[in-house]
Structure 1
Amino acid sequence: MTSEAGKPVSDMEEWPAGMKIVNGHLAKDIREQGMIQPPNSFGYIHLAAEVERPHPLKRNSAEKKALLASLKTAAAALRAAEPERVQRVDLFDAFVIPPGSKEGRELIARSGYDVHLAAFDIVVLVECSDVDTARSVRDSEAFVTIQNLLTEGASHTHCFVGSNAKRIAEVDHDRDGIFLFNYFYAADIAAKGADGIDILLGVWEYTAGWWTAYANLTNSTPLQPVAGEKSDYSLINHCRWDRLADILPHLLFRPSLGRFVLANFTANDIMAMPILYRLAK
């Protein structure tokens, strides 16, 4: 692991071989903050769809409101049909694609990478006890009903079974708030294999300390597609803040977000595409 100048950042830190560091003087160690935990053992189904482009000043159309209502009914039916296998089903409605996605989207467009630019305004997140259970639930009639509803109403959908690779703390879905799904595309993940995954998770951890130190972040459960799953995105970070005021000023007014967080992702050929959501009402 090397810095911009080609020198080790610290003899005390161990990061994956090949991981590049930018502006390491701005780093905050998430482990020194006591803000990292072992991964959980849950299995997840992440189903995302593009129905209407999210905009903070634009309300949902009548058609989207009707779709969300149908999805809530179908989500309740899934929980009722699978009480032993499904721990929870949560429905999210996006309201903005915030600053922070421009760099990743421009890099994808400039480099011609074959990946869908994430603009998902609806996410259904199913939490199961483990990965095998999640795979089985995805094939269930009740989940296929949800998937069909979204496929019929959306211009694009994306679905995968994932697990938690690293975490800060569990994301509280029992209260509304500001939820982030950040869709990471690692351009060379297939060529690097396990090393590519290690670098991606290393950059996530290395930059996570900035969020916990500066941006009021107290939780995060990144979702990683499990072996054999097809996904445009190598990792989807998921976290929550209580209020928009807890996060928006940091997105808009902290120059180190670009100089440190985004710069470390792009230096490692990783594109971040964040979207902010609320629980669907």
Structure 2
Amino acid sequence: MNTQSSLNIVNKHLNYPKVTLVETTTSQYLHIAAEIDKTSFPFFLGKSSCKKSVLKFCKEQAENIEKKAGVINCSIFSAIIIPPGRGKYVQENISKTHLAKFDVVILIEIDSTEHVEELLKSKVYQELISKIKSKSSYLHIVKASNVRQIGPVNHSKQGIFLFNYFYAQNTSQNLLVWEYTAGWFEKETKLNNSTLLLPGDNSKYTIINHCRWDSLWNIIPHLIFKKTFKTYVLDNFYANKVGAQPILYKLV
């Protein structure tokens, strides 16, 4: 792992507290992200009949998946908005990654790699993937582990959930600058949870951040009106060759 000195820090006069981290989980994750309803706007307005049927099927399958050995949680998310924060480093390297516009996400938390492999072979999981694949224009599936954690993400009640799809030249650099900038979110948005996922080798993204706020008002105004979001967060991302692709969701 690179040391702190490998960070390229800009706007050093902005001094946010170091993010508060807790011990990571030993859980394994399956992250399934699909693009079903295409949109040219930052808002995901309404749902097509196709998407509604997919979400209904996913919800039914999630209940069966949660009965499988080792499965801790299976949550379904539907996108509501692409907020400010997409890094220009992504735009400059668009041929090397995939511009994330995932409007349906499934996150499955599992207690061990052995149970992950069992689930992947199960009929209920294969039926789930077959249905989504047949209805989506793009599907991204990865196994992942938890590499940093501010706190566990509560999936038991509704809220505003973030999946932020990072693309970086170097994963270690991505982790370092995420840690450096996460204190901004902790202070400015009162963020008290985040499960940072490290995907496997087949991922288009270096890391995927997942967290939750109670409402849009807890996050959107800060991204729009706080000048330090750009000067402290986004500018440091770019200086370290890291691009973010945030999308906000609600539980299905």
Same-fold call, TM cutoff 0.5: yes
Q: Would you say the 8 A contact 2:87–2:237 is kept in 1? A: no
Instruction: Report matched runs for 1:181-196 at 5 Å.
Output: 181-187=163-169, 189=170
Aligned to 1:253: 225
Give the number of the structure whose alpha-carbon radius of gyration is greater: 1
Q: Say which is worse superposed, 138-147 or 264-273, in terms of deviation.
A: 138-147
Instruction: Report matched runs for 1:39-118 at 5 Å.
Output: 39-53=24-38, 55-56=42-43, 58-80=45-67, 82=68, 84-101=69-86, 103-109=88-94, 113-118=95-100
Instruction: Report matched runs for 1:103-252 at 5 Å.
Output: 103-109=88-94, 113-187=95-169, 189=170, 197-226=171-200, 229-252=201-224
Instruction: Return the letter of the residue paired with 1:70.
Output: F
Gaps of 5+ in 2: none
Could you give the per-residue CA deviations for residues 195-243 of structure 1, whole angstroms, max 9, x where no partner exists?
A: xx322111111100000011121100010024xx310001000000001
Q: Say which is worse superposed, 16-25 or 170-179, in terms of deviation.
A: 16-25
**Superposition deviation, residue 104 in structure 1:** 4.0
Instruction: Return the letter of the residue paired with 1:45.
Output: L
Could you give the per-residue CA deviations for residues 6-47 of structure 1, whole angstroms, max 9, x where no partner exists?
A: xxxxxxxx944532111122232235xxx2112111000000
Q: Would you say the 8 A contact 2:89–2:241 is kept in 1? A: no
Q: CA RMSD in A?
A: 1.7
Supply the distance in 2 between the matched residues of 1:248 and 1:64 (Cα, whole angstroms).
Answer: 26
Is residue 2:252 matched to residue 1:265? no
SS at match of 2:195: coil
Correspondence for 2:22 among 34, 37, 41: 37
Supply the distance in 2 between the matched residues of 1:170 and 1:30 (Cα, whole angstroms).
Answer: 18
Aligned to 1:193: none
Supply the distance in 2 between the matched residues of 1:135 and 1:269 (Cα, whole angstroms).
Answer: 34
Which structure carries more strand by proportion?
A: 2
Supply the distance in 2 between the matched residues of 1:53 and 1:174 (Cα, whole angstroms).
Answer: 28
- Identity, in percent, stands at 37
